Amino acid sequence: FLWLIIPATADLIPLCHQLPLSHVDIEYEHRHNENEVLVRCTCSTNYQTGVEMEAIVGATMAAVTIYDM
């Protein structure tokens, strides 16, 4: 479901332009000893711009989903 949310970043953040993403990957790592979950979101595009906002939205939504469960 996160692949549906990440492209909507421009709808969530003011002045953020919509990008055609060529790749989205989300990884989770449960660190039992530290009682934490590491979430990593990687995005890429062929455009001449960064995709840091899309990656932040993806990681944030993944973390909120884990917290909710």
Q: Summarize pLDDT for 32-63 with one digit per residue, the tens.
A: 999 999 999 999 999 888 899 999 999 999 99
Would the pLDDT of 64 be above 90? yes
Residue that wins the pLDDT comparison between 17 and 2: 17
pTM of the model: 0.81
Phi/psi of residue 18, nearest 5 degrees? -75, 135
pLDDT at 50: 86
Instruction: Kindly give the pairing relationship between strand 36-45 and strand 21-31.
Output: antiparallel
Q: Are 12 and 4 in contact (CB under 8 A)?
A: no
The one catalytic residue in 1, 29, 68, 69 is: 68
Residue 25 bears catalytic tag: no
